[in-house]
Amino acid sequence: MKKVTSIEQLQQCIASVRNYRKGFITNFFPDPFRHSLWIEKEELSFGETGESLFLLRENSFFYSLFYVSTTLEALKSDLAFFLVKHQGDILVADVVGNQDNVAARQVFLDLGFQQYASLTRMSRINNSPATVYEKNPRIVNGSVADAGIIYELLNQYFDPLAEQIPLLEELEDFAKKNQLIVYKENGEIGGFIIYELQGKTSYLRYWLVHPEFRGKGIGSALFNELLSRSADVRRLILWVMDTNHNAINMYLHFGAEYEMMFNYVLIKRAI
Amino acid sequence: MKEKILNILNGLRPEYDFRESANFIDEGMLDSLDVVNLVTDLEDAYGILIDGVDILPNNFSSVDSIINLLIKNGAKA
């Protein structure tokens, strides 16, 4: 494996797989800001095997594995070869897509991966002008300084294997863009929502109410603030763990629906 | 060609009106995951393979840019 040194190099490697002109399957979806951070921190490596490109992103105690390949058959043989050299590593791969393109999941299962979790995408379509809810004075924009505390909370309450915890730099960027909504009581953060706004679409990335602050309607107040900020948004998208029934019920309550888009988290433990 | 592309876009993301948009990417109507699916749908519909270096968001930002991309990659107008 070699370190990826630039986004351009990454694009070139991906293009070279496409240019076999036999097909294209991947679980790597370009995110220039995030991936530039990985490259800058020397966390991203690549290796080309057969008709496939494999990318490994180094996390605290495991590697996220991404593939770019021509066909399922090529992925199967190339991945088998790749795994021989990575037996000592914990590998986590996300297979993402609609019903038609999650067949790669079986390739991973056949090669010794186990399904660790699954997530579903839900979306809420905004058909009428958004309701502007009454402002809660304790709900404010998170500062760059708050980003550090939120980073710790994310690491404490979210599952790094399944929920792709952002880097501190990403959180600071959310704060700078006022996309970090926090609930503060006596200077203490009781909950937050992190979202991204892109034109007519907003993405709810993370939503947490600290256990000590639960049962006070803070989660709803945060979500209402997000809706108030999304007046021009047509679609709100989010991913949720299939086992998180409380969250799913909450999203359904707020008008979200299932999108038939899936994310299977597959893990291979070190031998 | 324009109608066919609009139909494909509509199938992918029925909640948006692609006729009304100046830039599908800037307006968040297509994300990177959608673009990957769109490439497959376009390739199937036109029986072509789109060159890897052309898979850049700008090439999917409007119906006209998609038409240019398809013609460049061998689709018949």
Q: How far is CA A8 from the centre of its chain?
A: 22
pLDDT-derived band at A129 (thresholds 50, 70, 90) equals low
pLDDT given at position A130: 62
Residue A132 has pLDDT above 80, yes or no: no
The rounded distance, in Å, linking the Cα atoms of A104 and A86 is: 19
Q: How many CB atoms lie within 10 A of CB B64?
A: 10
Report, at the CATH architecture level, how domain A127-233 is classified: 3-Layer(aba) Sandwich (3.40)
Using one digit for the tens of pLDDT, what is the confidence trace for A5-61? 999 999 999 999 988 888 889 999 888 899 999 999 999 999 999 999 999 999 989
Give the architecture-level CATH label for domain A2-121+264-268: 3-Layer(aba) Sandwich (3.40)
Residue A124 dihedral angles phi and psi, to the nearest 5°: -120, 115
* CA angle A192–A143–A38, rounded 5-degree value: 85
Distance (Å, whole) CA A243 – CA A157: 15
Best of A25, A123, A200 to disrupt the B interface (most B CBs within 10 Å) is A200
Domain A2-121+264-268 and domain A127-233 have a common topology:
yes
Q: Comparing C-alpha atoms, which of A52, A53, A67 is closest to residue A113?
A: A67
Location of structure tokens 């692609």: B18
Q: What is the pLDDT of residues A47-69, one digit of tens each?
A: 999 999 999 999 989 999 999 99
Domain ranges for chain A? 2-121+264-268, 127-233
Phi and psi of A240, rounded to 5°? -140, 145
Which pair of tokens denotes residue B52?
Answer: 């890897």
Q: How far is A184 from chain B (nearest CA, A)?
A: 30
Q: pLDDT by residue (tens digit) across B3-31? A: 999 999 998 888 889 998 889 998 889 98
**How does pLDDT run across B28-41, given as a tens digit for each residue?**
899 888 888 899 89
Chain A residues closer than 8 Å to B32 by CB:
29-31
Q: What is the pTM of this model?
A: 0.90
Pairing of strands A188-198, A180-185: antiparallel
**Tens digit of each residue's pLDDT (9 = 90 or more) over A233-249:** 889 999 999 999 989 99
Reading the block at residue A36, the tokens are 């530039």
- State the complex-level ipTM: 0.77
Out of A12, A21, A29, whose CB is closest to B32? A29
Nearest to A121 by CA among A251, A260, A252, A250: A260
Q: What is the pLDDT of residues A169-223, one digit of tens each?
A: 999 999 999 999 999 999 999 999 999 998 889 999 999 999 999 999 999 999 9
